[in-house]
Amino acid sequence: IATVIDYEGRPADMVILRDITERRKADQMLRESEEKYRSLVESSSDSIYMLDRDLRYIQVNQELLKRLGLPQEKVVGKTFGELHSAEETREFEAKAREVFETGKVVQQEHYHARLGRYFLRTISPVRDPKSGEIKAIIVVGKDITELKQALENLKKSEEEYRSLAENVADILLRIDLNGNCTYVSKSAFEETGYTIEDAKKLNIKDILTPESYETALARIKMWKSGTRKLPPWVAEIKSKDGRIVPYELKTSPIFENGKLSGIQIIARNVSERIAAMQAIEHARAYAESIVEAVHEPLVVLDADMKVISANRAFYECFQVTPEETEKYSLYELGNKQWDIPELRKLLNDVVEKNISFKEYVVVHDFPRIGRKIMMLNAKQMRTKEGGKPMVLLAIEDITERHLMETQLRRSSEIQSAIVSLLSLPLNYSMEEILKRALKTILSLSWLNLEQRGSIFLADDEQNTLVLKTQHKVPEILQTCSTVPFGRCLCGRAAATKKIIFTDHVDENHETKYEGIRPHGHYCVPILTDDKVVGVIDLYIQEGHRQDEAEMEFLKAAANALALIITRKNFELEQLKFIYRINEISKGECYLYRSHRAAYNIASHLMLLGVPGICFTREDPEKLIEYRIPKENIIIISSVPLKGYDTTDNLQEISMRIGEFIRNNRGSIVLLDGLEYLVSRFGFDMTYKFLQEKRFQFIENDAILLMPVELNIFSEREKALFASEVKIIG
């Protein structure tokens, strides 16, 4: 209402009416928006709060109050410093002032001593909508304890693997596809004389002889062409001081994101082995060239196998005299060590058929010199034409050589076994990894095992061992599916954290069953940071003697398994995190409004080893950014697409999904193309397909993700979808 002057100069009243309907609507929308925002803030698992320029609390959510342990009236209006320590306040004030001064978002990690948790604060500016001046800040505090611990565990696992690699006797080397060194173990510097700085600049061309370099290039070319396995080969490597040293190289491909990125090499110095082999060959050639000379223990036998004579080396070797030897049958000497049916036949052929023999091995406990391994060579001799044949028998003591070869073979098998254990693919299930690890350990020829065994993993909450895999011990499934710490041999190994050895079924073998056979055990604890994560149980023959070499290998094998189990457990935690953060569960089917979210979830699960398959209408080139392997993709199309499997038959899609999840329990299936299937086969048939599939996914503990544009469906169709699957987004 306003006062005006009329045309005669007299005051008059005037009423002005303004339509405020739109303003009231705007106010109502603002209130609704604020209520939604407040509901979102209050339901968040992160602490969210607003502070003014004096760092005084203006607004707080319930999560912050829970972390502070205070009611709202004792927080709002208080300054940050009144509720936190001086040191924490000082660090926070510095970050807050930075936001007020720069207007940029700042993050701060801190440790909450009372809660024993780590948090990441994200500090953002709040500006006046009119002036643009920063009036306050909003702080979001996210609990990152599990993530931080997971990263620390991963770092520790990598450090332990690196420690193992740095302390192994062989040289571990990695190169890219151009031959540049990307990693060299510590042993390389000790063997070749190169420094760490040298290694950073080295290419295999710099350290290989020209001939070996050409061979290496040819092998790299074979890796690039798709070869997955090549036999070991011997290369000549140039040391820093110019020496040429032979190394046996075992190579394997390195893949990143499914693509070949380099070559891993295990190099072993074989100078001594080659020298030993050459020496053996030279000695053999020499013996053959002077068969009638005095060199090795020699015996001359008549046609009836009686000793005519023997050389000095024979008498010295076997510590006998001519009186004890000459004119006696070979088969009567000593404790009749030469009376062997096969040897009798060989010597008879030398006399009657003039057939020589070489390198016939006799292993025997000789009366005066103990257990020896002798190699025999025999050749026919004649003193004159028409005379009776004689036999020259050369005997070589190869005990030491055999021992050396055995040790070399054992060392090679140990290194190969450890590398095999560390190379087990982590995309396998834990049970499959342990099954393959047990098979690797049992395959070692020099380990005197019964080819029977099992592996348990520890259940920390129950303080028990849980059987995960066994080989040729079916009875253990009933008697030892779970073993309390401290019970029987495996439980004692877990409780004491020491290898338990027994050569027979004694009183400590508490778990017995009808028909148990005599046997012994090696029970080896698997330790990570002095914590028991499992036990390897291996069967040995009754009366087997404990062997230090066997003990050392079993410790190394357990350490390798500990690294694998730790890494696999970390991956399992990552999987749980993905399921939790995306609010998905095994045995469920989901409709996703966001295509990118569905593809990212499926891709991450597949990268962590979850079996997966993708049915899609998407451009195959675009799928590369999601890192879904080509072999896991089926294009939903009636038109064949080169290089891809295609189908547009709903029944075939249903059958292939069913077969896949039956063969891959706990798998992930991405079905992108529901709109196309509805347009092609009708809503009712497609909906019936989902109804049938839902129970198959429940039965096989699998997950179905279906990115879809719901706006194209009617409200009835949306409701039907919602009755069978969960809608996200």
Question: Which CA distances in Å does 414 have to 419, 550, 704?
Answer: 9, 10, 44
For 54, residues 6+ apart whose C-beta sits below 8 A from its C-beta are 79
- Work out the number of other CB atoms within 10 angstroms of the CB of residue 593: 14
- How far is 513 from 530, CA to CA, in rounded Å? 33
Which of 667, 666, 669, 689 shows the shortest CA–CA distance to 677?
Answer: 689
The confidence band for 40, taking pLDDT boundaries of 50, 70 and 90, is: low
Band (pLDDT 50/70/90 cuts) for residue 30 is: low
Q: How far is CA 191 from the centre of its chain?
A: 29
Q: Tell me: pLDDT of 516 over 80.
A: yes
pLDDT category at 478 given cuts 50, 70, 90 is confident
DSSP assigned state of 208: B
Mean pLDDT confidence for 9-16: 60
pLDDT confidence bin for 287, thresholds 50/70/90: very low
**Pure H helices in 84-144:** 86-102
Determine which of 140-154, 407-421, 540-554, 569-583 has the lowest per-residue pLDDT on average.
Answer: 407-421
Q: Would you give the end-to-end CA distance of the chain in angstroms?
A: 52
Degrees (nearest 5) of the Cα angle 412, 415, 416? 80
In angstroms, what CA-CA distances link 487 with 480, 483, 493, 537? 10, 7, 9, 14
How many angstroms separate the CA atoms of 620 and 339, rounded? 76
pLDDT tens-digit map of 121-163: 999 998 888 888 898 899 988 888 887 777 777 666 556 555 5
pLDDT of residue 687: 93
d(CA 527, CA 547): 21
User: Residue 646: which pLDDT band, with cuts at 50, 70 and 90?
Assistant: very high
* Beta-carbon count within 10 A of 567 CB: 18
The interaxial angle of helices 430-442 and 399-422, nearest 10 deg, is: 180
Cα–Cα distance between 344 and 557 in angstroms, integer?
46
Tokens of 690: 């989902």
C-alpha 248/C-alpha 171 separation (Å) is: 10
**Distance (Å, rounded) from C-alpha 565 to C-alpha 559?**
10
For 23-143, CATH number? Answer: 3.30.450.20
Where b means 16+ CB within 10 Å and e means fewer, 285-322 reads eebeeeeeeebbbbbbbbbebebeebbebbeebbebee
Q: Span 292-397: which CATH code?
A: 3.30.450.20
CB 701 within 8 A of CB 611: no
In CATH terms, 582-728 corresponds, of 3.40.50.300, 3.30.360.10, 3.30.70.270, 2.40.50.140, to 3.40.50.300
Rounded Cα–Cα distance for residues 596 and 618 (Å)? 11
C-alpha 210/C-alpha 190 separation (Å) is 23
| Residue 50 neighbours by CB distance under 10 Å | 19
The pLDDT score that the predictor gives to residue 4 is 55
Burial class (CB in 10 A: 0-12, 13-18, 19+), 135: middle
For 197-256, the pLDDT digits (tens) are 777 678 888 888 989 889 988 888 888 888 878 899 888 888 878 888 888 888 888 888
Q: Strand pairing partners for 300?
A: 309, 392
CB-CB contact of 137 with 123 (8 Å): yes
Q: Cα separation of 290 and 355, whole Å?
A: 19
Rounded distance between C-alpha atoms, residue 470 and residue 520, angstroms = 16
Pair of tokens at residue 689: 């397909």
Query: Each residue of 163-186: pLDDT tens digit?
Result: 554 555 577 778 888 888 888 777
Write down the pTM of the prediction. 0.42
Separation CA 21–CA 621 (nearest Å): 53
Mean pLDDT of the chain: 83
Q: Is residue 255 classed as helix, strand or coil in its secondary structure? A: strand
What is the reported pLDDT for 533?
92
Burial of 22 (0-12, 13-18, 19+ CB in 10 A): exposed
| Exposure class string for 469-498: b at 16+ Cβ within 10 A, else e | bbbebeebeeebeebebebbbbbbbbbeee
pLDDT of 36: 53
Q: Using the structure block, give the residue that is written with the tokens 């404990």.
A: 546
State the Cα–Cα distance between residues 50 and 522, nearest whole angstrom. Answer: 62
Give, in order, the Cα–Cα distances in Å from 101 to each of 79, 88, 97, 325. 19, 20, 6, 106
Predicted pLDDT of residue 7 = 55
Q: What is the per-residue pLDDT for 159?
A: 60
Q: Taking every pair of C-alpha atoms in the chain, what is the biggest distance, in angstroms?
A: 171
Domain 406-576 has CATH 3.90.550.10: no
Report the C-alpha gap between 202 and 178 in whole angstroms.
Answer: 11
**Contact (CB, 8 A) for 667 and 610:** yes
Q: CA 568 → CA 100, 153, 405, 425, 571, distances in Å?
A: 45, 11, 37, 10, 5
Q: What percent of the chain has pLDDT over 70?
A: 87
Which tokens in the block code for residue 40? 């979102």
Which fold is adopted by the domain 150-269?
Answer: Beta-Lactamase (3.30.450)
Region of poorest pLDDT, from 86-100, 146-160, 446-460, 469-483: 146-160
CA distance 708 to 597: 11
Helix (H) or strand (E) holding 671: strand 668-672
H or E element in which residue 146 lies = helix 145-167
Domain ranges of the chain: 23-143, 150-269, 292-397, 406-576, 582-728
Q: pLDDT-based confidence at 1, cuts 50/70/90?
A: very low
Task: Report the pLDDT value the prediction gives residue 35, as an integer from 0 to 100.
Answer: 62
Q: Copy the structure tokens of residue 538.
A: 């291996």
Token pair 């004030």 is found at: 93
User: Does the fold of domain 582-728 match that of domain 292-397?
Assistant: no
Query: Other CB atoms closer than 10 Å to residue 652's CB: what's the count?
Result: 11
How far is Cα 188 from Cα 171, in angstroms, rounded to an integer?
Answer: 5
pLDDT tier at 283, thresholds 50, 70, 90: very low
Cα angle: 180, vertex 182, 184; to 5 degrees = 110
**Both tokens assigned to 102:** 């720069």
Are the C-beta atoms of residues 618 and 596 closer than 8 Å to each other? no
> Closest by alpha carbon to 301, among 341, 338, 337, 340?
338
- Tell me the C-alpha distance between 396 and 657, whole Å: 68
Strands 668-672 and 612-616: parallel
Token readout for 103 is: 């207007």
Would you tell me how many other CB atoms lie within 10 Å of the CB of residue 624?
Answer: 11
- Chain-centroid distance of CA 276 in Å reads 37
